[in-house]
Structure 1
Amino acid sequence: MELVQRHDMGEGLTGLTLNRTPVNAISAEFLDAFAATLADLERDPQTRAVVLTSPFKVYSAGLDLKEAQAFDARGEAEIVRALNEDLLAYYAFPKPVVAAVTGAAIAGGLFFVLGADWRVSTARAQFGLAEVRVGADFPAGPMEIARDALAPDTLRRLMLTGQPIRADAALAQGFIDEIAEDVLGAATAKARELAALPPLAYGAIKRQIRRHAIARIREAMAQPYTGWFTDETRPAMQRMMGAS
């Protein structure tokens, strides 16, 4: 089964479906597949905009905790690499991306939302950064994207409490752009609108907006890897899984 499914929506739109059953839990393989698909779409002249969807009740639950508990040093380094490289590739993608959020986007899963240019959500969705609850800090890529995409007080509340917020609060705080009953319809309409804009100018302006965060991520990635998990991480993950 393809981890990321691609389909032509017509009028220059390409749909991308995040498809790692059952909750789009993040693995290095999943992120690599996502970034590879984006690279293909960047080269595809027929793709003018992307609509990012999930077929599951959860948009993305974040890091695959079951897999992460079994990481050795190599596995830990590999997921950090993917979080940095692949989310950077997403944040630097020059074409319009509209996220159609139909369920919870938590921890690493929130970055599928924050990397999008426009975010349409169902009223039932929730958004959170739960890393503190699983005893982990943020690799450079996710950290800089969050700093760039979230207001300082929103960043503080989400990161230091680990508690999710509802879609109406996310809209009020400015990181969701629209709440719609027909999420896919609203997202498609916005993607069609963005696809009609001059593409070279759009890509250039998007780079201008995001270039400082992108530069900080690249600078951090050039530094030697020093590890991620601490002695707290695996016990916290086990507690989190037991509570879910």
Structure 2
Amino acid sequence: MNAPSAPCAVPDPRFGAATDVGRLRAVNEDGYLATAPAFIVVDGMGGHAAGRSATRAALGALGALTSTRVTDVDTVVDIVRAAGAAVTAIPSHALYRPGATVAGVVLASLAEGPTWIAFNIGDARVYLLREGLLEQVTKDHSHVQALIDAHRLTPQEARTDPRRNVVTRALGGGINDAGVPDTHLLPVRGGDRILVCSDGLSDELDDEALATVLGAGLPPQRTAEMCIAAALEAGGHDNATALVVDMPPWEGA
């Protein structure tokens, strides 16, 4: 499918999205937004109704990015913070506190030229496949990532550590919930492929597996479906969502 025109002098991004409840969960608490210029994945937390409520509230606020001409990073940060406030405003139950992690990219018109503003809170991720090389753009806000940064855990050990799903920042959830995302600027290049995903995908597929699927040359929708199929084949322990965005080459790029 093709996205509506984005507010930049570049071609329309092409995208595909897929999500699945997984093999162990009863409810899919993931959600996504895919309307140019914004491509976002939200992973609700708090259990069933709480997680779904958090996802709906976050996506409702983040929808402002689809109707806003983004010319600076602050615009993205402000709207993500509004999403955090929307989640925090959901009434909490004694056993469930709604929260969510989020990651995404927004196509922006910056002074430097067309730029992807990538952002995240929690352990949802953004990856970039450029000229055959896969890069994890965002850095998790998680307990195991803090241990990796402190050289107390290797990335390989983190993949199987029982604390790997403990996040240190979120939208709501009472977890450092100011809603301030990390941001990264990626100059737009024709031929780039971006993956935005929930941890249900990245926990199942390592970088090598992701690079294989993303680099297979399939269209975005088929690629997103293949990502989810691979996650299910690897165990499907959590809800999984894949949002694949391609920037076609263009004259003058």
TM-score, scaled relative to structure 1: 0.32
Structure number with greater CO (CA < 8 Å, separation at least 6) is: 2
Task: From the two aligned structures, give the one with the greater strand fraction.
Answer: 2
TM-score, scaled relative to structure 2: 0.31
